[in-house]
Amino acid sequence: MADIDTSGGGGGGKHGGGPRSKKMSTRVDLTPMVDLAFLLISFFMLTTTMNKPKAMELNMPKKTEIEDDKMDVADCQVLHVLLDTLDQVWYYEGLQVAGLEKTTFAGDGGIRKVIMKKLKRVPTTCPPLRSGKPREAIVLIKLLKGARYKNMVDILDEMDITGCKTYAIQDPDPIEIEAVENGGTVREFARE
Amino acid sequence: MPKVKIKRSHPVVDMTAMCDVSFLLLTFFILTAKFKPNSVVAVDVPSARSTTIAENVLVITLNKEGKAFVSIKESKMRFAMIDQLEQQYGERYPAIKGLTDDQKRFFSLVDTWGTPIADTKRVTSMNGMELQQYQKSLPGIPYDSLNNELGDWVMAARYAAAESGTPIKIGIKGDKDADVDYVKQVIKGLTAKDINRFILITTLAAPAGDAAAGEAKEGEAPAAN
């Protein structure tokens, strides 16, 4: 394939004339060159698209002092998620820190399932807002000191995957820190 | 009867046109490709599934030790940033005042900056060898609430961006093993300056199977301790 094509020169002696010098065709087979070009194209295409950094958006609340801006939140709406230093996820609903439970980020069985369930349950079980609209679940994310940044990204990612629209990053309460440190148990008198 | 002669010829396709097209594309991709800047600070970025593309970003890099660095891709913007820092915050930081154009140009050539403002003049008059040595252990930009230089850098970059007409996003590129408290502190320092929108720079997550395997391994490690 890569040789020089000489067939186009004619000179088959049809006319029976004298000896003719063979005309060499100047055609060069370009196939390997095209192969190479496409190889390089695919290389550059892939490397340029891979090189673009990816990112996730994070919007923090504006500092507002206006009372009207504050949301009407019921206890039954809230899911507290705590992240500790050992990559564990703790969660409890409403105000009951005592009901603290432990889970992980692992696939479908972990925190994702908890959030999904909460998202489904809140609009049906919680009393609707004053305007008559059903309530939506609110996830409060609390990052304990020493937790890894990876876990923060993971939980924000879970928010996106489960489609939870209302969430906030907060500082943990002392009672929550204590509860996590004690492996989920809360002393009775701790909550007044 | 004369036999019908079947002409035997292997089909030759003219490749010239294809070659033209492919080289055109090749030149396009070569010219649009950008070199990856050699990163001075090694950061292992966490992976996530939900992603947008980060472009035109001021990147705040946070390494494992919680040191902060700023970087902008375009050197023109870097020049504008230090210019704005001098103009807007010259009163607060006397050390930044009176930088020569050569020093500012030097600054604009360094893509990751991690020096307290007080040290700017010394670092911007280094030569190449000294800088290389210095970059091996960058001190980082302070970002505690008393001395929030990082916030001022970001504000300077925003002023510069406003002047050039292209809005800039604030990206946080944290090491996945960094303490989340550092990240919280950086965010707090910036929300104090009314910067509320961030993007967290991540890589694309590995396929589900890999992620689960990694997760399991990480789960075991603390239990063994």
The shortest CB-CB distance from A146 to any of B15, B175, B179 is to B179
Look at residue B208 and tell me if it is in a domain. Answer: no
| Cα–Cα nearest to B175, from B66, B29, B30, B45 | B45
Look at residue A28 and tell me if it is in a domain. Answer: no
The shortest CB-CB distance from A44 to any of B26, B174, B180 is to B26
pTM exceeds 0.90 for this model: no
Question: Nearest residue of A to residue B209 by CA position?
Answer: A107
Chain B contacts in chain A segment 94-113 (CB below 8 A): 104-107
Q: Where are the beta strands (DSSP E) in chain B?
A: 47-48, 52-53, 57-62, 68-72, 169-174, 197-204
CB contact (8 A) between residue A149 and residue B53? no
Q: Is the pLDDT of residue B215 over 50?
A: no
Q: Is the pLDDT of residue B146 over 50?
A: yes
pLDDT at residue B38 in the model: 65
Look at residue B198 and tell me if it is in a domain. Answer: yes
Considering its fold, how many domains does chain A have in total? 1
CB contact (8 A) between residue A153 and residue B30? no
pLDDT at residue B222 in the model: 36
Q: Model confidence over A90-142: pLDDT tens digits? A: 888 877 777 788 888 877 778 888 888 888 888 888 777 777 778 888 888 88
Lowest mean pLDDT among B2-16, B71-85, B94-108, B113-127: B2-16
Cα–Cα distance measured from residue A1 to residue B216, given in angstroms and rounded to the nearest whole number: 54
Residues ≥6 apart with Cβ < 8 Å to A54: B48, B51, B52, B53, B54, B201, B202, B203, B204
pLDDT at residue A150 in the model: 87
Lowest mean pLDDT among A60-74, A105-119, B41-55: A60-74
pLDDT at residue B24 in the model: 93
Give the domain extent around A159: 73-190
Min Cα separation B22/chain A (Å): 6
Look at residue A117 and tell me if it is in a domain. Answer: yes
Q: Is the pLDDT of residue B8 over 70?
A: yes
Chain A CB contacts of B32 below 8 Å: 48
Mean pLDDT calculated for residue range A24-52: 82
Considering its fold, how many domains does chain B have in total? 1
Strands B68-72 and B47-48: unpaired
Look at residue B142 and tell me if it is in a domain. Answer: yes
pLDDT at residue B211 in the model: 42
Look at residue B30 and tell me if it is in a domain. Answer: no
Q: Model confidence over A141-186: pLDDT tens digits? A: 888 888 888 888 888 888 888 888 888 888 888 888 888 887 767 6
Q: Can you tell me the ipTM of this complex? A: 0.70
Lowest mean pLDDT among B22-31, B33-42, B75-84, B178-187: B33-42
Q: What is the largest CA-CA distance in chain B?
A: 107
Strands A89-93 and A78-83: antiparallel
Cα–Cα distance measured from residue B208 to residue B210, given in angstroms and rounded to the nearest whole number: 6
Min Cα separation A128/chain B (Å): 30
Q: Does A63 touch chain B (CB under 8 A)?
A: yes
Min Cα separation B173/chain A (Å): 9
Look at residue A116 and tell me if it is in a domain. Answer: yes
Question: Nearest residue of B to residue A64 by CA position?
Answer: B194
Pick from B25, B32, B50, B57 the residue to mutate for testing the A interface (most A CBs within 10 Å): B50
Look at residue A183 and tell me if it is in a domain. Answer: yes
Q: Is the pLDDT of residue B219 over 70?
A: no
Look at residue A106 and tell me if it is in a domain. Answer: yes
User: B114 near B67, Cβ under 8 Å?
Assistant: yes
Look at residue A185 and tell me if it is in a domain. Answer: yes
The shortest CB-CB distance from B15 to any of A29, A41, A61 is to A29
Chain A CB contacts of B208 below 8 Å: 107
Give the pair of three-digit tokens for residue B180: 């989340």
Look at residue B147 and tell me if it is in a domain. Answer: yes
Look at residue A63 and tell me if it is in a domain. Answer: no
Look at residue A157 and tell me if it is in a domain. Answer: yes
> Would you call B139 helix, strand, or coil by DSSP?
coil
Q: Does A12 touch chain B (CB under 8 A)?
A: no
Chain B contacts in chain A segment 40-59 (CB below 8 A): 40-41, 44-45, 47-48, 51-59
Mean pLDDT calculated for residue range B93-122: 84
pLDDT at residue B210 in the model: 42
User: B157 near A129, Cβ under 8 Å?
Assistant: no
The shortest CB-CB distance from B22 to any of A41, A63, A106 is to A41
pLDDT at residue B1 in the model: 62
Grade residue A78 by pLDDT with cuts at 50, 70 and 90. confident
Look at residue B11 and tell me if it is in a domain. Answer: no
Helix boundaries (H) for chain A: 31-51, 111-125, 149-162, 174-181
Q: Model confidence over B52-103: pLDDT tens digits? A: 777 788 889 888 888 899 888 888 888 888 888 888 888 888 877 878 888 8
Mean pLDDT calculated for residue range A41-48: 84
Chain A CB contacts of B46 below 8 Å: 149-150, 153-154
Grade residue B206 by pLDDT with cuts at 50, 70 and 90. low
Give the domain extent around B118: 47-203
pLDDT at residue B23 in the model: 92
Cα–Cα distance measured from residue B56 to residue B159, given in angstroms and rounded to the nearest whole number: 14
pLDDT at residue B147 in the model: 84
pLDDT at residue B27 in the model: 92
Chain A CB contacts of B200 below 8 Å: 55-58, 153, 156
Min Cα separation A191/chain B (Å): 26
Look at residue B38 and tell me if it is in a domain. Answer: no
